[in-house]
Amino acid sequence: MKTLKYPLLLVALIALFSCDKKDNDDTKNVDVQTFVELLKSGKYDSSNLPSFTYQDIPALLQYRNETQLITNFPRNPISSLYGPECKLGMYVLWTVESIRAVSANSKSVIMGFPSQNPTLALKNETELRLVSDDLSHSTAAEAYYNWWTSNKNRSFDQFKDLDPLKDTPYRWH
């Protein structure tokens, strides 16, 4: 029996090390249009956000007002709240927030996610109160659009620390 154990171990190790090491995360480096199309079709199969930069923000903001519900999107794995769906526009804003927060080395970033969820919460409530109505969405969309358009001619390093939601009643959850 002892002599059979070593060949089986050898076969298992060979199988393990000869497996296809191809990165299964083909969506990591997608462009904005492909990202949005994959989200809309429910075919975005990565557990991570794409590696977008501030240069992708204008293209992302084109989708800020989209209200289509999406169900297959990357979620922060540390969150205990599972939201089964999200408005595409809100998710795009959360993606922009990720770009901003990662660039600013925010302490709230975990695994590339800017907060626990692509959901807004009221800032000044004693208890957590999540909001996902049309008013909060349009307010956040306008705040991000204004943040970008009023600063886009400056170096991103000069305004990446400015919170687009600062003058709104909302924050990311």
Q: Which of 19-33, 72-86, 106-120 has the lowest mean pLDDT?
A: 19-33
- 12 within a domain of the structure (yes/no): no
Residue 152 lies in a domain: yes
Give Dmax (Cα) for the chain: 74
| 33 inside domain | yes
User: Is 142 within a domain?
Assistant: yes
- The count of structural domains within the chain is 1
Report CA torsion sign: 87, 169, 76, 92: positive
Closest CA to 61 of 147, 172, 130: 147
Q: DSSP E strands: which ranges in 9-141?
A: 69-70, 86-87, 120-122, 130-131
Per-residue pLDDT band at 25 (split at 50, 70, 90): low
Q: DSSP letter at 131?
A: E
Residue at 21 is within a domain: no
**CA dist 13 to 21, 28, 71, Å?**
14, 29, 38
What would the pLDDT profile of 77-90 be if each residue is shown by its tens digit?
A: 988 888 889 999 99
Q: Does 159 reside within a domain?
A: yes
Range of 85's domain?
A: 28-172
Any domain includes 47: yes
23 occurs within a structural domain: no
**Residue 78 CB partners (closer than 8 Å, separation 6+):** 110, 111, 116
Predicted pLDDT at 17: 41
